[in-house]
Structure 1
Amino acid sequence: MISLSASSFSEKNAAQFKFSRAAHHPPPSARFFSLSLPLHRRWIRAEPLSTARHPSELFEEAPSFKWVDLNEPETSREQAAAIAELPPKMTKRCRALMKQIICLSSENAGGLPLLLSAWAKAMKPRRADWLSVLKELETSDNPLFLQVFQLALLEDSFEANARDYTKIMGFLGRTGRFHDAETVFLAMQGRDLVPDQVAMTLMVNLYSKAGKFDLAKEAFEKIRLLTDDNPDKRAYGAMIMAYVRAGMAEEGEMLLREMDSREISACREVYKALLRAYAMAGDCDGAQRVFDAVQLAGVVPDARLCALLIHAYAAAGRPAAAVSALENMRAAGVQPNDKCVALTVAALRELGRLDRAMTLLADLEKDGGDVIGRETSAALASWFGQLGLSDELSGILGSS
Structure 2
Amino acid sequence: MLSPFPLFPSQFSSVTYIATSTSISPPLFIWTYSTFLSVGKHIKATSPVFFSLHSAVASLEEAAVEDEEKTDAKLKWVDIGPIITEAQKQAISQLPPKMTRRCKALMKRIICFSPKDEIMSILLASWVKTMKPIRADWLSVMKEIRRLGNPLLLEVMEFALLEDSFEANIRDYTKLIDMYAKHSMLQNAENIFQAMKERGFTCDQVTLTVLVHMYSKAGYLNKAEEVFEEIKLLGLPVDKRSFGAMVMAYVRAGMLDLAENLLRESEAQEIYVGKEVYKALLRAYAKLGNTDGAQRMFNAIQLARIVPDCWFCALLITAYCRAGQSDKAHSVLENMRTVGLDINDKCVALLLSAYEKENKLEKALSLLVDLEQDGIMVAEESSQILASWFRRLGVVKEVELVLKEFSERKSNGKRSTLPSE
TM-score (norm 1): 0.78
The answer to whether structure 1 residue 365 and structure 2 residue 376 are counterparts is no
> CA 1:97–1:126 in 2, change beyond 3 Å: closer, same or farther?
same
**1:93-116 deviation digits (Å, cap 9, x = unpaired):** 111211222232121242x21221
- 1:336 paired residue number: 343
> CA 1:99–1:350 in 2, change beyond 3 Å: closer, same or farther?
closer
Secondary structure of the structure 2 residue equivalent to 1:312? helix
1:145 counterpart (147, 153, 163): 153
Secondary structure of the structure 1 residue equivalent to 2:77? coil
The CA deviation at 1:374 is: 2.4
**Stretch moving more, 298-307 or 371-380:** 371-380
The answer to whether structure 1 residue 276 and structure 2 residue 304 are counterparts is no
**1:247-276 deviation digits (Å, cap 9, x = unpaired):** 011111111111211112221101110001
The answer to whether structure 1 residue 264 and structure 2 residue 262 are counterparts is no
Q: Percent identity of the aligned residues?
A: 51
- 2:380 paired residue number: 374
The CA deviation at 1:73 is: 5.2
Aligned pairs (5 A) from 1:97-116: 97-110=106-119, 112-116=120-124
> CA 1:305–1:396 in 2, change beyond 3 Å: closer, same or farther?
farther
Larger-Rg structure? 2
**Stretch moving more, 239-248 or 332-341:** 332-341
CA distance in 2 between counterparts of 1:367 and 1:295 reads: 26
The answer to whether structure 1 residue 86 and structure 2 residue 92 are counterparts is no
- 2:29 paired residue number: none
The CA deviation at 1:300 is: 0.9
Aligned pairs (5 A) from 1:35-184: 66-67=73-74, 68-71=76-79, 74-78=82-86, 79-110=88-119, 112-184=120-192
The CA deviation at 1:173 is: 1.9
Q: Bigger relative contact order, structure 1 or 2, given CA contacts below 8 A and separation 6+?
A: 1
- Choose between structure 1 and 2: higher strand proportion: 1
> CA 1:72–1:286 in 2, change beyond 3 Å: closer, same or farther?
closer
Does the 8 A contact of 1:323 with 1:348 survive in 2?
no
1:210 counterpart (218, 225, 237): 218
CA distance in 2 between counterparts of 1:354 and 1:77 reads: 65
- Choose between structure 1 and 2: higher helix proportion: 2
CA distance in 1 between counterparts of 2:191 and 2:405 reads: 61
The CA deviation at 1:228 is: 5.2
**1:40-61 deviation digits (Å, cap 9, x = unpaired):** xxxxxxxxxxxxxxxxxxxxxx
- 2:395 paired residue number: 389
- 1:302 paired residue number: 309
The CA deviation at 1:396 is: 6.4
CA distance in 1 between counterparts of 2:127 and 2:241 reads: 39
Secondary structure of the structure 2 residue equivalent to 1:176? coil
Q: Which amino acid aligns with 1:105?
A: S
> CA 1:155–1:253 in 2, change beyond 3 Å: closer, same or farther?
same
CA distance in 2 between counterparts of 1:288 and 1:256 reads: 15
Does the 8 A contact of 1:323 with 1:347 survive in 2?
no
**Stretch moving more, 78-87 or 298-307:** 78-87
- 1:323 paired residue number: 330
**Stretch moving more, 131-140 or 332-341:** 332-341
CA distance in 1 between counterparts of 2:80 and 2:316 reads: 64
The CA deviation at 1:155 is: 0.5
Q: Structure 2: where are the runs of 5+ without partners?
A: 1-68, 410-415, 417-421
Secondary structure of the structure 1 residue equivalent to 2:348? helix
The CA deviation at 1:75 is: 4.5
Does the 8 A contact of 2:80 with 2:112 survive in 1?
no
CA distance in 2 between counterparts of 1:320 and 1:117 reads: 69
CA distance in 1 between counterparts of 2:333 and 2:240 reads: 31
CA distance in 2 between counterparts of 1:386 and 1:252 reads: 42
CA distance in 2 between counterparts of 1:169 and 1:72 reads: 32
Does the 8 A contact of 2:80 with 2:109 survive in 1?
no
Does the 8 A contact of 2:80 with 2:108 survive in 1?
no
**1:312-349 deviation digits (Å, cap 9, x = unpaired):** 11111222211112112222221221111011112333
Q: Which amino acid aligns with 1:141?
A: G
Does the 8 A contact of 1:241 with 1:270 survive in 2?
yes
CA distance in 2 between counterparts of 1:77 and 1:276 reads: 49
- 1:15 paired residue number: none
CA distance in 2 between counterparts of 1:212 and 1:233 reads: 21
Secondary structure of the structure 1 residue equivalent to 2:113? coil
CA distance in 1 between counterparts of 2:236 and 2:130 reads: 46
TM-score (norm 2): 0.75
**1:22-76 deviation digits (Å, cap 9, x = unpaired):** xxxxxxxxxxxxxxxxxxxxxxxxxxxxxxxxxxxxxxxxxx8734333375342
Secondary structure of the structure 2 residue equivalent to 1:199? helix
Aligned pairs (5 A) from 1:248-263: 248-263=255-270
CA distance in 1 between counterparts of 2:83 and 2:356 reads: 69
> CA 1:144–1:232 in 2, change beyond 3 Å: closer, same or farther?
same
- 1:12 paired residue number: none
2:208 counterpart (200, 217, 220): 200
The CA deviation at 1:397 is: 5.7
CA distance in 1 between counterparts of 2:149 and 2:359 reads: 57
The CA deviation at 1:128 is: 0.6
